[in-house]
Amino acid sequence: MKKYEIAVIPGDGIGKEVVPAAVKVLHTLADVHGGIRFEFTEFPWSCEYYLEHGNMMPDDGLQILQGFDAIFLGAIGNPKLVPDHISLWGILIKIRRSFEQVINIRPAKYFRGLQSPLVNPNDFDLIVVRENSEGEYSEIGGRIHQGEDEIAIQSAVFTRKGTERAMRYAFELARKRRGHVTSATKSNGIYHSMPFWDKIFNEVKQDYPDVETASYHIDALTAFFVTRPQIFDVIVASNLFGDILTDVGGAIMGSIGIAPAANINLNGKYPSMFEPVHGSAPDICGKGIANPIGQIWTGKMMLDHFGENELGEKLLDVIEDVTADGIKTPDIGGKATTKEVTEEICRRLKRL
Ligand code: NAI
Ligand code: MG
């Protein structure tokens, strides 16, 4: 019996609703499989925890997490209690950076039973590899003066190591898929970092002559996500570009509520972290109607990471069947609750 020890951080808002749903599905999946077992340990780190302790997680939080095989996280953020930049940097970005989760992968594909807002979604199936350790999301900069003279300076950081690493990951991934990598650039408008990005991309692609490539400026690329997403296979993007692009990816699937994501540690020194693209959705929190699919599909990415790909594929098939049969939460045009969708997925898994 293979055992996976997983740290669970439901976080805030609907994270507390969709994480228990996904945990239930994963337990069911393990039962059906028979040869694996999940051991989940839950941590209450959140904005409420911050109000009580003055910290999003305890001082030894990272040491505690380090011993787990993976971290399964819901969403962080409750702007009514804690400013977003404090909650986000206090835990999410802290974990991503400290645990060297240098790659963020986010798939988007045409999903059976979902109403894509696109007239012709044409079976698109793409995956964004987002550089997750540097780029535009840096602490370098500062603010000075008040009033009319007030200034903010924010520096972006692009290293050869970080850039190349993300690109190589994208090329390796493309080899396992349809063999195409698109680079998201903006070397016309951004004077230093993006020409550097292009240079590294041109270097790295020499090592993958079997993989086809394209390079688009991020503005045009974002538009192509809407007008012809089926031309893409793997897209490699900087931290900010990848973040924005993947919300569009979620939107063209039909809802951000189904979009999954994984923060991958490549050197094996620390656990990877699995969290859906969406946030804590304060507008629907507590109503029991949050879509659990983003969190459950994120669980599938965790299974892939553990090498349980076959099990993951089965899970995704069942989710698509349930959606195609109309058992859907309101964000994707249905009337079902979080609980009903979760129970239906579990019921069908048990039938496998
Ligand atoms: P959001 O993703 O929480 O919500 C955007 C819209 O999508 C809302 O209308 C919401 O109801 C809907 N939505 C999101 N997930 C859904 C689901 N599973 N089912 C049904 N509908 C869903 O983004 P927003 O409103 O910008 O941020 C809210 C809070 O979440 C903020 O504090 C923000 O900082 C935080 N946040 C955290 C993230 C994370 O933990 N990775 C990512 C994005 C935002
Ligand atoms: Mg985002």
What residue ranges do the domains of the chain occupy?
Answer: 1-101+256-352, 116-253
User: How many whole angstroms from its chain centre is CA 338?
Assistant: 20
pLDDT of the residue at 119: 86
Please list, in sequence order, all residues whose beta carbon lies within 8 angstroms of the beta carbon of residue 289, skipping any fewer than 6 positions away. 329, 330, 331, 337, 338
- The CATH H-level (homologous superfamily) assignment of domain 116-253 is Isopropylmalate Dehydrogenase (3.40.718.10)
Q: What percent of the chain has pLDDT over 70?
A: 100
Residue 142, classed as helix, strand or coil, is strand
In 3D space, the residue among 259, 332, 271, 349 whose CA is nearest the CA of residue 306 turns out to be 271
Give 345's strand partners.
none
Both structure tokens of 192: 């230093």
Asked if the model's pLDDT at residue 176 lies above 90, the reply is yes
Q: 1-101+256-352 and 116-253 share one CATH topology?
A: yes
For residues 108 and 44, the answer to whether their CB atoms sit within 8 Å is: no
pLDDT of the residue at 35: 93
DSSP letters of 270-281? S-EEE--SS---
DSSP letters of 165-212? HHHHHHHHHHHHTTSEEEEEE-TTT-SSHHHHHHHHHHHHHHT-TTSE
Q: Please tell me the distance from the alpha carbon of residue 315 to that of residue 298, in angstroms, as a whole number.
A: 11
Backbone angles phi, psi at 272, to 5 degrees: -85, 165
* Pocket test residue of 273, 277, 280, 342 for ligand 1, highest count of atoms within 8 A of CB: 280
pLDDT of the residue at 29: 96
Please give the mean pLDDT across all residues of the chain: 96
CATH code for the domain defined by 1-101+256-352: 3.40.718.10
Burial class, 206, CB count within 10 angstroms (exposed 0-12 / middle 13-18 / buried 19+): exposed
Both structure tokens of 116: 């894509």
In 3D space, the residue among 221, 218, 103, 217 whose CA is nearest the CA of residue 166 turns out to be 103
DSSP letters of 62-90? HHHHHTSSEEEEEE---TTTS-HHHHIII
- What is the average per-residue pLDDT within 241-265? 93
* Pocket test residue of 256, 289, 291, 335 for ligand 1, highest count of atoms within 8 A of CB: 256
Centre of ligand 1 from the C-alpha of residue 26, in Å = 23
Ligand 1 neighbour 200 (Cβ under 6 A): no
pLDDT of the residue at 96: 93
Q: What percent of the chain has pLDDT over 90?
A: 93
- What is the average per-residue pLDDT within 199-207? 98
Model confidence at 113, pLDDT cuts 50, 70, 90, reads: confident
Q: For 266-289, what is each residue's pLDDT tens digit?
A: 999 999 999 999 999 999 999 999
Q: Which residue, judged by its Cα, is nearest atom 37 of ligand 1?
A: 279
Centre of ligand 2 from the C-alpha of residue 69, in Å = 25
Ligand 1 neighbour 332 (Cβ under 6 A): no
H helix and E strand count, the chain: 12, 12
DSSP letters of 4-42? EEEEEEEESTTHHHHHHHHHHHHHHHHHHHSSEEEEEEE
Q: Which ligand is nearest to the CA of 106?
A: 2
